[in-house]
A = this chain, B = another copy of it.
């Protein structure tokens, strides 16, 4: 690199790249649901016998909401989303409208972003709450940044499925 950088700045830049990738996947999910026809989001499976789009929106929102306790930011904002993680589609009644789920999704992501922006490099590489200090010393990759890398890929995984639903 011709420009001067320090290891500390390099580390901060990398965190920003990971954050931007997560933000980009969030935006892609939002774009999908903003252009989609509401009726079909309730009724259509993304492929025969697979999840409906409304379920996947709830599932992605629930996954991001679970980052609050996992990363030590506090309680979930919408614990009622839990069913979207613990139960398969059509096994429970979805109590939220698409509009409500979209609103919760946006609130979760913007609140998480505030927490992320306040973390130092050391805090990003510190353990998440599902690993003990003892295990973390043996497995130092079980940190906040790694969780975000995994969750970002989880979003991409379901985006590939959502995009099988096409809208004109």
Contacts and interface: CB of A to CB of B under 8 A. Distances in A.
Contact of A1 (B7, B11, B122): B122
A137 B54 CA distance: 42
Given A21-B150, A50-B164, A156-B156, A8 B7 contact: yes
Contacts of A164: 47, 50, 161
A28 to B, nearest CB: 10
Contacts of A15: 14
Chain A residues touching B, majority SS = helix
Q: How large is the interface on A (under 10, 10 to 19, 20 to 34, 35 or more residues)?
A: 35 or more
B48 A149 contact: no
A3 interface: yes
One complex includes copies of this chain to the number of 2
Contact of A7 (B10, B127, B156): B10
Contacts of A48: 47-48
A25 interface: yes
A25 B145 CA distance: 17
Contact of A10 (B25, B121, B137, B153): B121
Nearest to A14: B14
Contact of A126 (B1, B150, B158): B1
Contacts of A8: 7
Interface string A1-41: 11101111011011111101100010000000000000000
A96 interface: no
B13 A10 contact: no
6 contacts: A7-B121, A13-B141, A17-B143, A18-B18, A18-B149, A161-B161
